[in-house]
Structure 1
């Protein structure tokens, strides 16, 4: 009793790797291994790199624009329209200057998403699903084991980023204390570099954490796709059909092929026999064939049936055991005989044609 239960348990245990068909079905449903954190982390890191490269140029152009506009402001009479126009010009200029940085973030974000899931479009996900917004479903998701794991992951990521930020801020505080001996004009640049270095460290920490999260997502996804031995058997039956059905189809195909082959015996010019173990039927039409062609062959019971059909249709039977065995073993049905058998077959056909000319079988 216990052994039977263990066997059932083992049969249902999902220990086998997913098949390509199961992976394809999961992909059609939108189930893929992906980490949103990896996409956002790489985009944030790309923005930091872009600011490091393009930042001085963007800041220089913006500074020149501010100096020019404020310098011209002395000659203007300030009104609500003038202030609104100045602010609009500044905002548009800032947007234009930061556009390359934003473009880098968008490109890297899309590349990171495509790297994880490749091009994927699932129309079913666009349809409304009330279970996604159901409070009961939401609470079950939060209180489930997967929800607990996701919460723990979020706390670990927050703790790691907070730790990196704390160490960087502690260093920044020490630098600010020492700024009392620095000229006032150099303070903004020093603080800017410190804040930027803090952002770079946070971005690196986010990328590392996101990479670990992506590895975990792939591991969890692969486990969710695992199949039991029974699943594999069921899929094999679905893709290749029931073994009994396949056997019946093959048997039927052999019967049809045998029936066509026996029908071709009536068209043969000669049947070469062993005399009892092998029989090979040859047909030769000089207008359409380069050499005689095997239209039927068989051994034992099939050979007897070929000889019987030949006798019914008055096809000559020629006993030549070596030639019959060679033809049976080397030439398939529908193929022409090889050149090394031309002479032997030509002698047999010549004999048959002479007998026909004399009116003898």
Structure 2
């Protein structure tokens, strides 16, 4: 009894890799490996790259705009309309700067998301799922092992980013001490460069952590998709059919092929026999064939049926045991005879043609 129970437990254990069909079904349900942190981290890094490339030119243009607008307006002539016009110009300038950066962030985020999950559309996920807002479901999700793992992951991510930011801030603080010796005009540039370097380090840390998280998500998905041996057997039955049904199909296919083979005996020029154990039907058309072709062959009962069909259609029977065995063992149905049997088969065909009183080129 204990042995049987252990066998049942082993049969239900998920130890097998998921089949393509199971992966496709999981994909239709929206179960794919993805890391939202990777999308946001790459988008953040892309924004920093764009700012590094376009930043100096954009900042210079903005400075020129401010100097031109503020320098051309006297403080005595400032009115509500003047200030409103200046603010509108500044907002338009900010929009021209931010829109390309925002587009880069969106494109980078979409590209990373598509690379992770590939293009897919899951209509079921668009339907409202009230279980997601159920307090009981939320409590169970938080209290589950998966919830604890996700919380630990979030804590480790936050700790790693804070550690990188702290070390960068420490170096930034040391640079701040030296700012007193720098010229006042150079202070904004130094501060901007230091803050940008801090952002770059944080972005690199975020991308690295998100890549690790994506690897974990793939590992977790693979484990969740594993199948038991019984599930593999059930899927095989569903996709390929019942073994008895497959056997019946193969049997019918063999019967159909044998019936067609027997029908082709009527087209043969000669049937070479063993005399009773083997029978091989040959045909030769000089205009269409390079060599004689085997139309049918068989042993024992099948050989007897070939002989009977040949006699019914007046196809000559020639007893030649060595040649019959050689043809049966070396040539498949529908194939031409090999060159080493040309001479022996030619002699048989010549004999048949003489007996019929007809010659062929």
Query: CA–CA distance in 2 between the matches of 1:109 and 1:286?
Result: 71
The yes-or-no answer on 1:206 pairing with 2:201 is: no
1:175 and 2:175 matched: yes
Pairs within 5 Å for 1:158-169: 158-169=158-169
Cα distance, 1:310 vs. partner?
2.0
Q: Secondary structure at the match of 2:114?
A: helix
The answer to which of 304-313 and 63-72 deviates more is 304-313
- The equivalent of 1:135 in structure 2 is 135
1:14-163 equivalences in 2 (<5 Å):
14-74=14-74, 77-163=77-163
Aligned to 2:260: 260
Q: Is the 8 A contact 1:41 1:206 kept in 2?
A: yes
Partner of 1:302: 302
Residue-by-residue CA offset, 1:135-165 (whole Å, 9 max, x unaligned): 3333322222111211121122112222222
Q: Match for residue 348 of structure 1?
A: 348
Q: Deviations over 1:49-76 (max 9, x none)?
A: 2222221111111111111111222299
Partner Cα distance (2:185, 2:69) in 1: 22
State the superposition RMSD in angstroms.
2.3
| Partner residue, 2:222 | 222
Name the residue aligned to 2:250: 250
Moved more, 46-55 or 221-230: 46-55
Deviates more, 1:272-281 or 1:125-134: 125-134
When the two structures are superposed, what TM-score results if normalisation uses the length of structure 1?
A: 0.90
1:298·1:328 contact (CA, 8 Å) conserved in 2? yes
Q: CA deviation at 1:286?
A: 5.0
Aligned equivalent of 1:280: 280
Cα deviation code 1:141-194 (max 9, x no counterpart): 222211121112112211222222233333333433443343333322222222
Rounded to whole Å, the distance in 2 between the matches of 1:340 and 1:206 is 74
SS of equivalent residue, structure 1 residue 279: strand
3-state SS of 1:73 partner: coil
Instruction: Tell me the SS of whatever aligns to 2:295.
Output: strand
Tell me the CA shift for residue 243 of structure 1.
2.0
Deviations 1:3-39 (A, max 9, x none): 1111111111111111222222222222111111011
Contact 1:131 1:137 in 2 (8 A): yes
Q: Does 1:235 align with 2:235?
A: yes
TM superposition shift of 1:93? 1.6
Q: Deviations over 1:96-141 (max 9, x none)?
A: 2344433332332223222222222223322333333333333322
Unaligned 5+ residue runs, structure 2?
none
Aligned length: 358
> How far did 1:199 drift?
1.4
- Cα deviation, 1:276-298, whole Å, max 9, x if unaligned, reads 22100123345655543322101
Seen in structure 2, the aligned counterparts of structure 1 residues 135 and 352 have a Cα distance that, compared at 3 Å, is same
Contact 1:58 1:98 in 2 (8 A): no
Partner Cα separation in structure 2 for residue 79 and residue 326 of structure 1: 113
How far off its partner does 1:300 sit?
2.1
Write out per-residue CA displacement over residues 220-243 of structure 1, whole angstroms, 9 at most, x where no aligned residue: 111111111111111222222222
Alpha carbons of structure 1 residues 56 and 315: separation in structure 2 relative to 1, 3 Å: same
SS of 1:335's equivalent in the other structure is coil
